[in-house]
């Protein structure tokens, strides 16, 4: 096993665990908010606060893959690499700032017995945006357009 295979394996595993969790949560959280499941929303928001920053490891491992070998079909000059990185940053900011904020507001409202339908809608729409972004990133990494 060589360094590339180790880095790629770690990159994929961290993506599955961290981003997989966040994507799944984006699908489950709006319903929980609408049903008023305050405990689920609170725990989910806390988990996202941990998994979100851990997702940066996926980004760092991707950087390591690009930096380690110039003969590896990946270079910062390649559009698919730069677009993947930019989209990843957009998804992380969207998740941390906008989705996370809506989840925290929903948890606070639900803790007082107040419904949070606006937050549920916001989490659903922004979560679907992130899932779309992540789908495009996966396509870029698989298809490597322009490589």
Decide: 33 and 102 in contact? Cβ < 8 Å. no
pLDDT at 61 over 90: yes
Convert 39-65 to b/e letters by CB count within 10 Å (16 or more is b).
ebbbebbeebeebbeebebbbebbebb
How many Cα atoms occupy the beta-carbon half-sphere of 37 within 13 Å?
14
Could you tell me the pLDDT band of residue 39, with boundaries at 50, 70 and 90? Answer: very high
**pLDDT of amino acid 74:** 75
Query: Tokens 């979560």 label which residue?
Result: 127
**pLDDT of amino acid 115:** 98
Mean of pLDDT values over 7-34: 94
pLDDT digits (tens, 9 = 90+) for 93-135: 999 999 999 999 999 999 999 999 999 999 999 999 999 999 9
């Amino acid at each position: 096993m060589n360094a590339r295979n180790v880095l790629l394996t770690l990159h994929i595993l961290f993506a599955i665990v961290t981003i997989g969790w966040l994507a799944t949560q984006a699908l489950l959280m709006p319903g929980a908010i609408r049903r008023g499941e305050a405990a689920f929303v609170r725990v989910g928001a806390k988990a996202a606060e941990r998994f979100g920053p851990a997702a940066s490891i996926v980004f760092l491992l991707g950087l390591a893959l690009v930096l380690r070998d110039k003969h590896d079909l990946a270079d910062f000059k390649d559009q698919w690499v730069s677009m993947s990185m930019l989209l990843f940053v957009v998804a992380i900011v969207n998740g941390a700032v906008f989705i996370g904020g809506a989840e925290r507001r929903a948890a606070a409202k639900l803790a007082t017995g107040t419904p949070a339908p606006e937050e549920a809608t916001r989490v659903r729409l922004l979560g679907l945006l992130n899932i779309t972004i992540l789908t495009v990133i996966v396509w870029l990494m698989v298809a490597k357009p322009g490589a």
